[in-house]
């Protein structure tokens, strides 16, 4: 048996101020205005599509990083309980053997629909902008290494973040794009020109824009300006009130627009 839930309903066409959502089993059967049979008091809740998180390392005390399938299921369930129905599991800079092991272990969860895919955040990152990534395992992109990782569980790896100024980065971006994997730019000290060249080669996502990047300078606009003004690029933003000031968020959304803005959690196991 299904049920009917009333509230403010967000649809592609706009917000239905007083609407309903009706389910049938585990599917949405209907969405529309509440009509005459609706409760008279104004709805207090919102009904929105499931959230999509492109960048998440874990949550609820569980991590994707260790490549433990049980922990990955628990982390995904934690975020699903907060409305995230589509989730990339982000791994971090690590030795190739560790990335390979995590890919083999979590790949079946992609096939099962628990995860939408895997995201390698590193190891091809700039040392000067590495953030919390272990410098001992940072390295330049290597095509043979990438090919071997992507071949472990075909279709499991969906996005790879790298710094486009590194030797071999341009070839790696072309390889990834050709394989149907989204190349993302992040943890980078690249110039404006280097970043735009990476976009031309196939990069399509800015990994947590502003964070892990040099600030914009009027004579050295750098990666932030290059990514914000590239119409092909989706810009991740961590809108937690800590990683970015509200003014930076306003600037990014004004420049990129809602269609190129992706709010991400970048959550770790400690979230929740």
Spatial distance between the Cα atoms of 109 and 112, rounded to a whole number of angstroms: 5
Q: 3-state secondary structure string, the chain?
A: CCCEEEEEEEECCEEEEEEEEEEECCEEEEEEECCCCCCCCCCCCEECCCEEEEEECEECCEECCCCCHHHHHHHHHHHHCCCEEEEEEEEECCCHHHHHHHHHHHHHHHHCCCCCEEEEECCCCCHHHCCCCCHHHCCCCCHHHHHHHHHHCCCCEEEEEECCCCCCHHHHHHHHHHCCCEEEECCCCCCHHHHHHHHHHCCCEECCCCCCCCCCCCCCCHHHHHHHCCCCCEEEECCCCCCCCHHHHHHHHHHHCHHHEEECCCECCCCC
| Residue 134 known to be catalytic | no
- Catalytic, out of 26, 68, 259, 266: 266
List, by residue number, the catalytic residues: 266
């Amino acid at each position: 048996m299904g049920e009917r839930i009333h509230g403010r309903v967000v649809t592609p066409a706009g917000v239905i101020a007083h609407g309903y959502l009706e389910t049938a089993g585990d599917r949405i059967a209907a969405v529309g205005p509440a009509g005459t049979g609706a409760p008279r008091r104004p709805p207090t809740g919102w009904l929105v599509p499931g959230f999509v998180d492109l960048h998440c390392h874990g949550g609820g005390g569980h991590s994707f990083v260790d490549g433990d399938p049980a922990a990955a299921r628990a982390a995904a369930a934690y975020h699903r309980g907060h409305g995230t129905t589509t989730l990339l599991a982000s791994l971090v800079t690590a030795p190739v053997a560790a990335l390979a092991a995590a890919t083999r272990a979590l790949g079946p969860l992609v096939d099962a629909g628990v995860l939408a895919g895997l995201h390698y955040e590193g190891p091809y990152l700039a040392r000067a902008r590495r953030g919390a990534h272990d410098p001992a395992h940072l390295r330049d992109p290597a095509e043979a290494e990438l090919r071997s990782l992507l071949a472990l569980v075909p279709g499991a790896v969906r996005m790879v973040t790298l710094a486009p100024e590194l030797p071999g980065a341009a070839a790696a971006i072309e390889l990834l794009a050709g394989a149907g994997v989204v190349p993302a730019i992040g943890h980078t000290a690249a110039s404006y020109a280097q970043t735009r060249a990476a976009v031309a080669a196939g990069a399509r996502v800015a990994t947590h824009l502003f964070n892990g990047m040099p600030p914009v300078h009027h004579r050295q606009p750098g990666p932030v300006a290059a990514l914000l003004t590239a119409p092909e690029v989706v810009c991740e933003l961590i809108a937690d009130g800590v990683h970015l000031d509200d003014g930076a968020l306003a600037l990014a959304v004004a420049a990129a627009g809602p269609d190129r803005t992706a709010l991400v959690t970048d959550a770790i196991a400690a979230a929740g």
